[in-house]
Amino acid sequence: MSVIPVRSLLDSQHVLFYVSSIFGVIPYSLWAFAKRTVLQLSILGNVWVVCSLIVYSALYHVATTNYVKDDWGTQKTLTNAIGIFIIYMEPLMMATDMVAGMINQRQLVQCVDRIARIDNHLATEGILLNNQRLRRTTIVLLLLVLAFEAVITVYSFVAFEEEFTVYSLIWYITTIPTAINSVSRIWYVMLVLAIRQRFNAMNAHMNAIAHGLLHYKDQFVGEQDADIAEIPLDYLEKEIFTVYTQRRKQLAATPPKNPITKVIAVKPYQPGKQPSSSPTKSIELSTPRNSAIQPWTDAEGLGPARQYLPADLRLRVKIEQRLDNKLILICRTHDELCEVGKIVNRMYSVQMLVAMAHGFVAITAEFYFLYCSFTEQEVPILFRSAELFLLALTYISYTALKCIVPIFVCWKTKTDSHRTGIEMHYLANVVDECHCYEVVNHLSLKLLNHHLNFSACGFFDLDMTTLYAITGAITSYLIILIQFNLAAIQKSSSNSTVASNDTTTTAVSVIETVVTTAFADLVKLSILDLII
């Protein structure tokens, strides 16, 4: 079978590559990609990433200082420290993404090349991939990043900037670190989605073959097998029964060997005659095909199973060894995809750890100061976005999506990788031949060793259990912060009540002293008047 040309993964990621190169997320040659659509290492690209990192960090500090102005000392020292830590985690994430991009640039080239080879191998077996769907996904994610960044930055600038000057426009620089972090997350999501797409393509191909065989068997008009025609069997029972029945037939078709009782006649040598050949196993011949029968025309529902089906509906399907190469290729491709997934996990594990930490702290702080805004308490200058409900909700949604989308994609990819063995066993059950069962059972043991998992430096797995744990932690810490806030308010109220009571008691004592002194003076004057 000739190799069908496949549109590569990079061909569908032009927009993402150009945006990443302009902002300095990846250090590859822009000229080589534009001419040949390849990822080529470039010294100029690395210099551009380093210069961009320095410039972005300096401008972010200037913009943050200009935004806060002289309000640093109006809040408590602890509140300022927490606010500064959360605010400067954004350039820290940007630096982590850009430095990791330079360190892992060779690994990314390796991943793309291995995915391209996998696509070519799958194409030889008729498993074609549509990378345009992945292209649409990345474009939608980029548009979402642009929309969130524009709303948050413009809304904050219009709502909180007192004087609109040219220098005040430096506030828009603060959107660059979060945007770069989001673009880096899109690269991670794109690579994981590419791996998941190939798992799904293999699973869907095996499922299509199984359904095609079932469709043919439903229309089969030949003689049914007497052994299994009226016996209802489940999946495992069917496999055991089929293996036992077919092996019994093979033993029955093979003449038994009994060399002990067999008498060998010794004859003199006769020239010109060749010795008789040794006994061989009988070969099962296929049913002769009637040339008068009209070949069965192609019908809907067969899919890729068409090449394994006979042309006559009266002929029973005999797959035998024709599926071996396809199943072995799928098993090898599964192993290759798991290895690519491990490389991607090592490339982005540190970035995901920092991103999850920032998401947890930022969302918890935003929710807490949103509560303070609702209760008409003072909100620190660094969290003034909590004073506007829509702005705070947009910021929380944006931060949460940057954590939820990678976790969901990693979880679905891991789940789809486990489905390959299930689909392979389902296909063997539909084929229902002893040889196919043996091959699938052997390959399924290899699939069990192809373990794919995504984690954040091994601290936690990127799956739905982690999302549940983070949500529970945010809720718990938010309740604790609110309880501390209520206790502080209650203590402040009690202190003010005690102070007012002390003031009242002092005033009464002063009045009583004044009255007593005045009364004593009046008594003295009265006595003097009486004496005089």
pLDDT in tens, 409-419: 999 999 999 99
Residue 20: both structure tokens together = 């990443």
Whole-model pTM: value is 0.79
Residue 5: both structure tokens together = 């040309």
**101-119 average pLDDT score:** 93
- What percentage of residues in the chain have a pLDDT greater than 70? 71
Q: What is the pLDDT of residues 353-369, one digit of tens each?
A: 999 999 999 999 999 98
pLDDT at 76 over 70: no
Residue 251: both structure tokens together = 């033993």
How many structural domains comprise the chain?
1
Would residue 300 count as lying in a domain? Answer: no
Would residue 90 count as lying in a domain? Answer: yes
Q: Whole-angstrom Cα distance, residue 178 to residue 145? A: 9
State the DSSP code for 4.
Answer: P
Would residue 221 count as lying in a domain? Answer: no
How does residue 170 score in pLDDT terms, banded at 50, 70 and 90? confident
Tokens 């004073």 — which residue?
Answer: 387
Q: Identify the pLDDT of residue 437.
A: 84
pLDDT at 493 over 80: no
State the DSSP code for 131.
Answer: T
Would residue 39 count as lying in a domain? Answer: yes
Would residue 491 count as lying in a domain? Answer: no
Identify whether the C-beta of residue 406 lies closer than 8 Å to the C-beta of residue 106: no
Containing structural domain, residue 57: 9-215+323-462
Would residue 33 count as lying in a domain? Answer: yes
The more confident residue out of 116 and 167 is 116
Would residue 366 count as lying in a domain? Answer: yes
Would residue 495 count as lying in a domain? Answer: no
Closest CA to 383 of 77, 172, 82: 82
